[in-house]
Every structure is written in C-alpha cells, then in structure tokens.
C-alpha cells in the first residue's frame, strides 16, 4: 500500500510540473513495490518513470524500465495501457 501511495504522490508532482520531486517519488515507489511484491504498482511506476526519463532526454536510462514493462505477462488487461505506452516509447530509443 505504501508503494501505491508513493506512486500517487509522484503523479501529483508531475501534475504540478515538479519533475525532480516526481522522479524521487517514482524511485521510492519502485523500491517499495518490489519490497511489497506489488506487481501492478511496480509496472505502473516503471512505465511512468521510463516516460519521465524520456521526457527529460534520458532515453538510454529509460530503456531498461520500459523493457521491464513490455516483458510483463498477464492474462488480464489491467496494465494494457502501460505495456502499449512502453512499446511506443521504445520505438523512439
């Protein structure tokens, strides 16, 4: 649950254009999601972080995060948007 809260905080910072604060929160959300075994939040945070890094011109740094999103396999469509977005971003790297 902490991972989800940290991810939501990162999104709020993005809404206000505070990229560095958002980046900090996304890194923390990734770490927390890994510790909590929260796959959904982890994939969302990977996608958002990869997207942010691309936006900041750090495409090479973004690539492994986006590749993790694309490699995610599931029987449901909960993360279809994230997988699709990651594929789109990877085309530009």
Q: What is the assigned CATH class of domain 2-90? A: mainly alpha
Q: Is the pTM of this model over 0.85?
A: yes
pLDDT (average), residues 4-10: 99
Q: Rounded to an integer, what distance in angstroms lies between the CA atom of residue 73 and that of residue 61?
A: 23
Q: Are 36 and 28 in contact (CB under 8 A)?
A: no
Predicted confidence at residue 76, as pLDDT, reads 81
Residue 73 banded pLDDT, cuts 50, 70, 90: confident
How is 24-60 classified by DSSP, letter by letter? HHHHHHHHHHHHHT-HHHHHHHHHHHHHHHHHTT-HH
Would you list the domain boundaries of the chain? 2-90
pLDDT digits (tens, 9 = 90+) for 42-65: 999 999 999 999 999 999 999 999
């Amino acid at each position: 649950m902490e991972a989800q809260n940290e991810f939501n905080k990162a999104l709020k910072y993005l809404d206000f254009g505070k990229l560095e604060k958002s980046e900090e929160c996304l890194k923390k959300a990734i770490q927390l999601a890994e510790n909590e075994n929260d796959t959904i939040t982890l994939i969302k945070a990977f996608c958002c972080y990869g997207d942010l890094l691309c936006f900041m011109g750090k495409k090479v740094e973004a690539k492994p995060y986006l590749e993790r999103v694309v490699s995610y396999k599931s029987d449901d469509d909960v993360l279809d948007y994230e997988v699709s977005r990651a594929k789109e971003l990877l085309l530009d790297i």
